[in-house]
Structure 1
Amino acid sequence: MSKELIKEKLNKFGSEKEPFLFVLSYDLSKFYIEKLSKLPNSIKFQLNQKEDFNKVFTKSKLEKFPISFEEYKKKFDRLQEEIKAGNTYLSNLTVKTKIKTSLSLDEIYENTKGKYKIRFQNQEDNFTCFSPETFIKIKDNKIFTYPMKGTIDADISNAKEQILANKKEMAEHTMVVDLLRNDLGIIASNVRVEDFRYIDTINAGDKRLLQVSSKISANLQENWIKNIGDIITSILPAGSITGTPKKKTVEILKEIENYDRDFYTGIFGVFDGKELDSCVMIRFIQEDINGNKYYKSGGGITCDSDVLNEYQELIDKIYLPF
């Protein structure tokens, strides 16, 4: 039911060329869609903001309390069993980690850098996100998506060469690109991979990470603004944070992860009346009613994955990008 309501509202605002914000949870059970002119003060966002080198940021120590390696390994091993059985080939396994910081969610939003940032608070949900990953962009009847898969510490010797030459990382990224190509093929034509496996440098607080991405494009019909809801809901959840085959992998992850992703790995974006820009909500901090803060993170698992490396990656992805 939520999916149909989301589709209907997005299509309506698009048809009216009404600028609006949309925030959709991972499983589409929750959503927030509102005209930009009516946004409350409790909801703020930034998209593709240029870095302000003159701004002084307030920094804070971030304490992490991740699940034990043994507990993570149980989840990892169960996923490997599913892979061996042929039920999934790539799965993005995520976990929920309790954190402590002296900064409030408002201060985290104001003092962190991010390609996409949102501060969201209503009666039910309270979170902030500073995501480096674009979901889709639509401009001049063309749709673009930028799957992000593959991370390495930038300080490792020859880090760029290492990650691009790594067979496991290559296989994982290729599977996600194929999945996203197929997703775009559902709602568009002339699907093309314009740039395969390029490197972005991500500020990860006390370290830098190299992130591998690709750029895929396709052509939409001229009346696409009347079908924004159909376009978005047809390709959710995002392939980079689920896996392949998508439907079965989502079922497997729900059982193994055993927690509610909620808005984490959902999407948020803006339609400005002419163009659309959106991101996948990774690098995500949620606060419960008792004031406890949780950071949700994870990474892609294939048959070639090393459990120690994957455990370390999910911890490395818990950071505040000052």
Structure 2
Amino acid sequence: MEFRLSQPFQASISADHYRQAFERIQAYIQAGDCYQVNFAQRFQAQCTGDPWAAYCALRAACPTPFAGYLSLPGHDAILSLSPERFVRVSARQVETRPIKGTRPRSPDAAEDAAFANELLASEKDRAENLMIVDLLRNDLGRSCRIGSVKVPELFSLESYPNVHHLVSSVTGELAAGNDALDLIGGSFPGGSITGAPKIRAMQIIDELEPTRRSLYCGSLMYLDVRGEMDSSIAIRSLLVKDGRISCWGGGGIVADSSCEAEYQETFTKVRVLLKTLEAL
């Protein structure tokens, strides 16, 4: 079967609405309520056909390490093109790989390299990434052996067909008596898609985002009988439900963020997904 959109994707937040929310978040930051808030918007369109056909087209256009497809009742489905690991457990060793910092790709090699170098050199993006690394060190520390939590990789570049990302790694070893479910319980949802401090950031998200996140920023995972686990953060992920397909894009807002740049980032992160489906 084929997959078709009945209309182009529509964004849930206008530029004016985004600016109002951005200014509210900045006021919270200046008041000391939070350091960073991951603010997102939804893109939605009516659709018909087979979600698997949509997933195959997206997978070809944007291959990612944590892609996945999940059938739901009533011909609904989750289509995930996530580039981000949430948490992994292997032989009781734990790893999380937060993404914070994004630049677009360019078909021009020189411009593309310039975008990558700009991201690597950006003090703002490094500071934003470090905030989340610190948050995740604390999250892992709830379930890991004291003294085992480390940061073996900081501010690495990962490049995908549509974007460059700044990525770090936080590792640890599960404490005696703890398992993968304890780790999930102490870490969910991922700090890279909430902000810091996590609880207050989520309260602000709940106040300001006009639509529910649904699967967005949740997790697709496996857990086996040995206690081995791997999981993604459900970014670059789409939900087909009741004849509509929804996708979300967002970014972390900090004290020195630019409203226009942050608004455009919500489009940059999902543009390849939206354009691929609109072209079917």
- Which bracket does the TM-score occupy, shorter chain normalised? 0.7 to 0.9
* Paired residue secondary structure (1:151): strand
Distance 2:97 2:210 in 1: 28
Aligned residue identity for 1:97: F
> Aligned-pair distance for 1:280?
0.4
- Match of 1:267, SS state, is coil
Structure 2 residue 171 is the aligned partner of structure 1 residue 217: yes
1:122-156 deviation line (CA, Å, top 9, x unaligned): 36964321111000111122100001111101324
Partner residue in 1 for 2:80: 129
Residue 249 (structure 2) pairs with residue 297 (structure 1): yes
Distance change in 2, residues 1:124/1:82 (3 Å)? farther
Indicate the RMSD between aligned Cα atoms, in angstroms. 2.4
Q: Deviations over 1:230-251 (max 9, x none)?
A: 2211111110000101111111
Q: Which residue of 2 aligns with 1:256?
A: 208
Structure 1 residue aligned with 2:236: 283
TM-score normalised to structure 1 length: 0.74
Q: Tell me what 1:177 maps to.
A: 133
Residue of structure 2 equivalent to 1:3: none
Tell me the CA shift for residue 76 of structure 1.
1.1
Can you list the C-alpha shifts for 1:97-125, whole angstroms capped at 9, x where unaligned?
A: 12467774221223313322132313696
Three-state SS of the structure 1 residue aligned to 2:216 is coil
Q: Identity of counterpart residues, as a percentage?
A: 29
Which contiguous aligned blocks of 4+ residues in structure 1 show a shift greater than 6 angstroms?
58-62, 100-103
Question: How far apart, CA to CA, are the structure 1 residues paired with 2:152 and 2:200?
Answer: 29
Task: Report the residue type matching 1:201 in the other structure.
Answer: S
Q: SS in structure 1 opposite 2:149? A: strand
Match of 2:220 among 263, 268, 271: 268
In 1, the alpha carbon distance for the partners of 2:73 and 2:3 equals 26
Query: In structure 2, how many angstroms separate the alpha carbons of the residues matched to 1:194 and 1:171?
Result: 17
* Correspondence list, 1:1-80, <5 A: 63-66=8-11, 67-80=13-26
Q: Say whether 1:315 aligns with 2:267.
A: yes
Residue 262 to residue 101, structure 1, CA distance change in 2 (3 Å): closer
Q: Could you tell me whether the CA contact under 8 Å between 1:188 and 1:218 is conserved in 2?
A: yes
Matching of residues 125-274 of structure 1 within 5 Å: 126-155=77-106, 156=111, 158-189=114-145, 190-203=148-161, 208-221=162-175, 224=178, 227-274=179-226
Cα distance change of structure 1 residues 316 and 256 upon mapping to structure 2, 3 Å threshold: same
The normalised TM-score by structure 2 is: 0.84
Correspondence for 1:114 among 53, 56, 64: 64
- Distance in 2 between residues matched to 1:81 and 1:307, nearest whole Å: 13
CA distance 1:125–1:101, change in 2 (3 Å): closer
More helix by proportion, 1 or 2? 2
> How far is 1:258 from its partner?
2.9
What SS does the corresponding residue of 1:88 show, helix, strand or coil? coil
Do the aligned partners of residues 256 and 153 (structure 1) sit closer, same or farther apart at CA in structure 2, a change above 3 Å counting? Answer: same
Distance 2:229 2:177 in 1: 14
For 1:243 and 1:283, the matched residues in 2 are separated by: 18
- Give the secondary-structure state (helix, strand or coil) at the position aligned to 1:187: coil
- What residue ranges of structure 1 are gaps of 5+ in the alignment? 1-57
Equivalent residue pairs, number: 258
Q: Distance in 2 between matches of 1:288 and 1:71?
A: 26
Contact 1:88 1:248 in 2 (8 A): yes
Query: Structure 1: how far apart are the matches of 2:28 and 2:251?
Result: 16
Deviation at 1:72, TM superposition (A): 1.3
